């Protein structure tokens, strides 16, 4: 089957998740990957969103953390202070899944501004809960389309800490969680070097060359000694992902009867 680079990225990210994960989910690409995993190989994964929804099972992808779809399909919903103080800061969430506008070689993220803070070229949505997620989840996965505008040598603003300046920087600051352990892009999969923590390409997606990865990275990217080829999406993975995206499109466009929209929100139950 043919597939897009974005579908390859989403599928590769979904495969990294397991049934045992308790996952704090970001909106957008992280949400698509997490729900694809839930609908395929990890039906028992626990998905948590920043608005306080726990074990949510959305039938369509949410527009924001305040989307009613999340609360309606959750096992329970708690207050935002409880979510952060008890669940996140209490060490009860094993994995955070984030995206960003910019990332550097040590997986630090910027979602605040592009350009000088006082007079930016672009003002981004901001950190929200991402800085806390990056610090307190057991580990972090990051999903981003790869290009020189986003994969930069130096961030314009550090919103969420990855591995800081590299090496043992997190540990020196007293942060006990693992930080980013995997970065999934539309070209490849990266993991931090065990010692330096610099992002290193460990898997390249089908049809992508090393030169293309180099061209789309704003620093001299490193490759592991042995680099695998990412398995292509299966027919089932693509079918489930495309069905999810089409349901989402229809729901957000207000298509279908009221009954059909209600059924979409509840999974037809």
Residue 159 has pLDDT above 50, yes or no: yes
DSSP secondary structure code for residue 151 in this structure: B
Active site residue 198: no
**Catalytic residue from among 7, 50, 69, 198:** 50
Residue 264 has pLDDT above 70, yes or no: no
The alpha-carbon radius of gyration of the chain (Å, integer) is: 18
Q: How confident is the model at residue 263 (pLDDT cuts 50, 70, 90)?
A: low
Query: What is the predicted pLDDT for the residue at 12?
Result: 98
* pTM for this model (two decimals): 0.92
Q: Which two tokens stand for residue 26?
A: 């970001």
pLDDT tens, residue by residue, 193-231 = 999 999 999 999 999 999 999 999 999 999 999 999 999
CB-based contact 181:192 (threshold 8 Å) = yes
Burial class, 79, CB count within 10 angstroms (exposed 0-12 / middle 13-18 / buried 19+): exposed
Q: Which CATH number fits domain 5-266: 1.10.357.10, 2.60.40.10, 3.40.250.10, 3.40.1080.10?
A: 3.40.1080.10
Query: What is the predicted pLDDT for the residue at 1?
Result: 79
pLDDT tens, residue by residue, 117-143 = 999 999 999 999 999 999 999 999 999
Q: How confident is the model at residue 255 (pLDDT cuts 50, 70, 90)?
A: confident
Q: Which two tokens stand for residue 236?
A: 């089932």
In the numeric block, the tokens 């620093």 are attached to 219
């Amino acid at each position: 089957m043919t597939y897009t680079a974005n579908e390859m990225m989403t599928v590769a990210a979904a495969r990294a998740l397991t049934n045992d994960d308790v996952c704090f989910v970001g909106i957008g690409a992280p949400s698509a990957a997490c729900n694809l995993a839930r609908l395929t190989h990890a039906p028992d994964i626990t998905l948590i969103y920043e608005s306080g929804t726990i074990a949510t099972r959305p039938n369509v992808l949410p527009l924001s953390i305040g989307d009613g779809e999340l609360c309606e399909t959750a096992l329970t919903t708690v207050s935002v202070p409880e979510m952060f103080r008890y669940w996140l800061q209490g060490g009860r969430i094993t994995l955070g899944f984030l995206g960003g506008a910019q990332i550097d070689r040590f997986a630090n993220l910027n979602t605040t501004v592009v350009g000088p803070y006082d007079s930016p070229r672009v003002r981004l949505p901001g950190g929200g809960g991402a800085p806390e997620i990056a610090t307190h989840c057991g580990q972090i996965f990051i999903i981003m389309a790869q290009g020189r505008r986003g994969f930069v040598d130096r961030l314009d603003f550090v919103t969420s800490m990855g591995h800081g300046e590299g090496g043992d920087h997190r540990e020196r600051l007293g942060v006990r969680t693992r930080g980013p352990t995997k970065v999934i892009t539309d070209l490849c999969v990266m993991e931090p070097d065990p010692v330096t923590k610099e992002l290193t390409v460990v898997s390249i997606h089908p049809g992508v060359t090393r030169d293309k990865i180099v061209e789309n990275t704003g620093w001299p990217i490193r490759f592991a000694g042995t680099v695998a080829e990412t398995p292509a999406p299966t027919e089932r993975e693509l079918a489930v992902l495309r069905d999810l995206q089409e349901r989402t499109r229809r729901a957000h466009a207000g298509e279908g009867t009221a009954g059909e929209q209600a059924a979409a929100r509840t999974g037809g139950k």
